[in-house]
Structure 1
């Protein structure tokens, strides 16, 4: 009975890792179970070498705790990771107890090591579960409070015990004024009797409830809500009701509007069909790959070909033989790039005559940017083409006092200018038709498209009136006008002529409008004279042909407009004389254009001058006009 425990063979039979150490903590015994676990003989772990079996991250801590235990002579449980024979580390608890001599000194230390890996994993799993549960509850609370509906729960007697943040925000009240039966104070007085009766009936006889009623919001206004709730019983038999109130105020208004518009829709469809087939243009649509699938009555009547001959890619037979390949190339490029652009081509009429047409198209794209269908119009521009050719032939011989009074010149731009709103009308009509197609019906969008058709019709009339005013000699009208818009209009009339002369046009205009007080027609005449002078000057130049127009507001609240060119320029001794009456640098000029420009600019409170370009190539003509605010202040 006096032998040491480590000498007893029973120690090796214990299903636990038993060890002993000297009084100073040097390991001197480990039973067979211990040695089998670590897969090493006692010689490799005896003394202080036993620290080598611990995880590197735990060694320092365990060594410190072991020294504290030895110093205090008080045993305590320590946890750490031990390397198993297969190289894996497992969590273990290390328990120890000292044996004292009669004087209270430690003679030896005895202990066991117990594998607690499974317990540790269970504890970690429990922690992760608790963390996930807390996060789930937080997410659930966040979701419920973020829902754009009024969420609630109630007891079996119907009193409320929870409302979400949306409920509180809508009512503009704290929760204690809504919970219990406080929510009834927010219901419309006319709705309370019926709603309470349905609620009590469903509480007693049903597992769900559905009703409608009005709830007063924080702004004092009542809105219609749809109430839906369901009874739930948990595992403990506790009954609660959960539900939500959905705002249906806008839905009810929409339903009423929809019912009222059904008749208008049928009438609108009829009118739209009449518009599509009576507008002075040929409307069509194509599949995403460019095959013709729809065309209005105007197109069929004009070409006089059987429908089956022009559907698909058969429409190419409508074009002039010389235009078929250019048209095919242009259309293939448009379909491939998904970018619309106008194309001019000649189309054969039913009587065999060819006329010039402008073909415009617009793709309908889905959310991914893929073409669903192509829509377009074909507009007769024969008159415009003839007028443009007539203009090109006549302008080279014109040197009149003012080009704006040459009605022949102005008339050639009418077809082009009127063409723009007409194309917008047809495009909007196509859009309107698209919004009325089954499956894509949107009455509001169709109505907007129809309103744009009316607007563009008025715009066409305004353009004609504007051009007629420019051609006529009428009294000046001094009124506020957007100079930038006036510049755009006159440049639109000149773009064809500049292209014909191979002249590039560079514009540098500000984003905002530039309001001045003046006669719009006279100001356009100044720009037209300056641009045409530059174009004619560069006709005698073999180099680069470019006209630049820069418009900006200076520090004195004056608008400065600069027209520059790359022609031969003006000699220094002629810079001041070019504005004199009857003085001209051209052999066939009469010297009135720039003189008239000076008279107009000065009458508007501005000034005009000529200078050489910075690079000594070409000339720069500059004029200034006071902004509308300055002109108004001067008038006062």
Structure 2
């Protein structure tokens, strides 16, 4: 029979000891009592062994002196018995003490006391065999106290384990004893000051040549700080996840290769992605995410994303993404790479902003603008008619004025045919100018190309001043021309250039109607600039502009009877010639309007007239 517990072994020893006492009394032989002394020393303790020796000596003396006739012989045998009993007591004392200290400090192997942490060893059946000094110091017990604990119940060491961890630890320990698997357990162990700290208990079984377990050797590592750090880390991760899930935008993460592996709760709820059925992190193919985009956007999205991932560049992209209800909504996606110190991409962070309402609002606004523009164009047809009359008024007035002069020269006495002939030429020229204005208006709507050719702006300026000569005289305006004699010719539409100069000169004359006649002076300057352009400036001595930036807007005017179309058309003509028109107030009084156009060859601006038509139409849309 195999005795597997301390209680069983002690019961058997006590039975043997009692049997030895009975046997000694039965056979009247005191030396059999030595067995009882040994049993008491082993089972009860070597401290009680002295009492056992004295009692056995007393009992043996009774036996010897009752049987021996000679007192000397009985005394000698009694002395021999007592000496034998003391020797037996001393040997058991030595072996009990040394055996425990060997188990505690030396153990079954070399350097067991140097094991880091709390080292221990157990018998094959799981009974604790020894612990190292670090373990004794941690739990705050002496070697003798630990001996008594180990000699007590088989698992009395559980008194040092937290009550909440005892049941689970015992269940795992019994499982390891049955299977022989290595021990890996975590439990809270009570320190000498009564506080509990987390320890990781690891142990392996030693085996003989037949594979039978001969013992268990383990070590307990203090992981309390690690546990607290892990708890704090889990709490921070929980707070961060809560923050990411509650941020009012869709957030998702990708691997360095661009494979999605995390979506926040808002994204999951928006797109209807099942997080439980979702593929493992980093394994979800990018193509499966691209499928969420509108079929018309997938190819472009895939190309743009792959290009960004390959180059490691941030990305911003707009596309239509499918919501969980099956509707496609416009999404603004932005991605940024997270890099380490060496510049290697660790992961990609992406955010999606639902801008569908904004896009639809912008589209509605655009459509409303188009409807408003059409309404404004329709409403401005009457104004356009007036503008046409405005453009034709000047040459027709000149025709009327010159026709009257022609009639006066013919009815003079005697008739002056030379002057009449010159006036007739002016009439023809004015009529031709009116016809060309009509042709330009027709070109504006039909967008037909004209025939630009090289012109001399100085000639254009002089012809306009000659045409407005009577107006200048009747208004009391002094004309001051400063024309560059070396001004190069430039390719432009002559009628349109005449129209621009005519409008600028006429506006200058009208701007001085309310100033003293003594200061009415109109200065016209032409100059060649180093940037390859020619400039024409018309400067008056009027009151200046209250808002120079707005005078070129269509229908903006400061005149009671004005329509605000002249300067708007001038701006359209100059911009169509790739030039610039601007106005500014003069510090000495008055204002100036200047335009500049580039010097171009005839074959380089064959589309000027068509561009002018588009620009002039834009003047009515502004």
- TM-score w.r.t. length of structure 2: 0.30
Whichever structure has more strand as a proportion of its residues is 1
Whichever structure has more helix as a proportion of its residues is 2
| Rg larger in structure | 2
Which structure is richer in relative contact order (CA contacts within 8 A, separation 6 or more)? 2
